[in-house]
Structure 1
Amino acid sequence: MTHAHEDDAAGQALPGHLRSIQPTSQFAGDDGTADPELAALLAGHAAGTVPLRDVVARLAACRVLVPVLAELDVAEAVVVDGQELHVDKEASSGVVALQAPDGRRALPVFTSVATMRAWRESARPVPVEAARAALSAVSEDWSLLVVDPAGPVTVTVPRPAVWAMAQGRAWEPALVATQDGLVVDDEVLAAVRLAAEPVQHVVRVGAQPGRTAEVAVVLSIDAGLDRAGLDGVLRQVNARLGASDVVAERVDSLELRIAAAR
């Protein structure tokens, strides 16, 4: 990573976009506690009564604490959503990333000094607006934010939500809750169909919550294609989905499924 550096009050260099806030700044009176509304929403999310969308909306309006470490313990890891995330030993200036098994990196952020100390006692908190932290993650090509990795409630903010926060937009999840459970949002479904339906040999296109990804694109394909033909169809569908602005902005991850053509 390449950053402009500036010394803070403690005499330590920080990246320019995550520099320590001086006493005259908007955070001068910050006592390091969590925003009460955000804390309540996180608790509700853990209990299954508050959707992640509401948590992200409040988070976008709050300050968070970014941890700065003088020394990195490369063996350290935390488990988030069933995945083991390792501290990125290549992080510069003491600002760390968490790396998931799939290679994606996440910026850890904390709601309070207490939750940061529960993760790493020696971490120095740098207060920033959550939107600014999201922008920093995007500028580093880091995909995710992980809120309070050591709890009491840990939340992963997915890539589309990080992008929306960085741009000052409200996050619109690709999956929406209905009485029948989660379904793919109409705009996302329309974009998926617009991308995939023109591909030769594709008969029908659907979308539903995925098993290994956020959204599964379900393709009915002409019977009789050999393996090479099928692979060619899937490559074209993948390329067209990758070129869709709506899919890129709204969908965290995709999987393709083949359904029997009727």
Structure 2
Amino acid sequence: MTASPAGEGDATGAGRSIQPTSQFAGDDGSADEELAGLLAGHATGAVALADVVARLASTRVLVPVLAELAVGEEVAGPSGQTLHVDKEASSGVVALQAPDGRRALPVFTSVAAMSAWRADARPVPVEATRAALSAVNEDWSLLVVDPGGPVTVQVPRPAVWALAQGEPWRPALEATQDGLRVEQEVAQAVTVAAAPVQHVVSAHAEPGRKAEVAVVLALDPGLDRSGLDTVLGQVNARLGASDVISRRVDSLELRIGAAR
């Protein structure tokens, strides 16, 4: 991911909105034990990301402030990602840029985790909900927890929004005995949005291959390229206008499938 300015040219930017409060005056910089345990469990697949996010909602995190930051510097990210530093924030708070171009605010569970990432980073303690609100205000989509380890977790956009609003996060995908499936409300919203478009025979949602959720369309046969583009554009517009999808789905992909 790449780092970029926090609130550059904006008096209401993240550098001002994540100032610590007096409640952290006695903070020793240690990680919350329950959160640390959940992160360790998530690394092994034993704990769902939703449980990590739920604990984040009631914990303090540390936001790094850097006096200097090298453009183009690379840091480690979740799932083997390489996260790129873009440039220094005027406030010293940085954003990381993901391979898909979205920006994330790095947050840390402890001073030790932050020091493993950048020894020269100064920790600013804030509630995780306030950090999420700061990211939302800056139009940064993600949070990355402990980018230097020991366990790095990327908090997706819908979860960041839920944290910022003080609401529980309901993932778009849920686990079953047979694997992942799209949660019922989300699946229904996909059908309601896509099915009415002309030339769409049917539409359903399933876990995506490259995105979180795949919208699988069965279309009338014989559409030319122009007609196909029109249909896909209309489906995209209706999906984008769905409140359920915008709140709960991190990313979508469209696929053409056989009629069901």
Shared topology, TM-score over 0.5?
Answer: yes
1:78 maps to which residue? 75
1:218 maps to which residue? 216
Instruction: Tell me the distance in 2 between the aligned counterparts of 1:141 and 1:249.
Output: 15
Instruction: Tell me the distance in 2 between the aligned counterparts of 1:115 and 1:106.
Output: 17
1:94 maps to which residue? 92
Runs (4+) of structure 1 exceeding 6 A deviation are none
* 1:207-246 alignment, distance < 5 Å: 207-246=205-244
Q: Which amino acid aligns with 1:242?
A: G
Residue 223 of structure 1 contacts residue 261 of structure 1 at CA under 8 Å; is this kept in 2?
A: no
**Unmatched 5+ residue regions in structure 2?**
1-6
Describe the SS at the equivalent of 1:160.
helix
The C-alpha deviation readout for 1:40-83, integer Å capped at 9, x for no partner, is: 00000001100000000001110000000000122321232232
Cα RMSD after superposing both structures: 1.3
Report deviation, 1:90. 4.9
* TM-score, normalising length: structure 2: 0.93
Describe the SS at the equivalent of 1:26.
helix
Describe the SS at the equivalent of 2:169.
coil
**Unmatched 5+ residue regions in structure 1?**
6-13
* TM-score, normalising length: structure 1: 0.93
Residue 217 of structure 2 contacts residue 256 of structure 2 at CA under 8 Å; is this kept in 1?
A: yes
Q: 1:40 is matched with which residue: 33, 37, 42?
A: 37
Q: 1:136 is matched with which residue: 126, 134, 142?
A: 134
Bigger relative contact order, structure 1 or 2, given CA contacts below 8 A and separation 6+? Answer: 2
The C-alpha deviation readout for 1:13-58, integer Å capped at 9, x for no partner, is: x82212244xxx1111111000000000000000110000000000
* 1:119-198 alignment, distance < 5 Å: 119-198=117-196
Q: How many residues were matched structurally?
A: 251
**2:16 aligned with 1:16:** yes
Instruction: Tell me the distance in 2 between the aligned counterparts of 1:237 and 1:4.
Output: 39
Instruction: Tell me the distance in 1 between the aligned counterparts of 2:226 and 2:80.
Output: 36
Describe the SS at the equivalent of 1:15.
helix
Residue 61 of structure 1 contacts residue 130 of structure 1 at CA under 8 Å; is this kept in 2?
A: yes
The C-alpha deviation readout for 1:239-259, integer Å capped at 9, x for no partner, is: 000000100000000000001
Instruction: Tell me the distance in 2 between the aligned counterparts of 1:231 and 1:212.
Output: 20
Residue 218 of structure 1 contacts residue 259 of structure 1 at CA under 8 Å; is this kept in 2?
A: yes
Q: Return 171-180 or 67-76, whichever deviates more.
A: 67-76
The percent of aligned pairs where both chains have the same amino acid is: 75
Describe the SS at the equivalent of 1:92.
coil
Cα distance, 1:252–1:69 mapped onto 2, change above 3 Å: same
Q: Which amino acid aligns with 2:41?
A: G
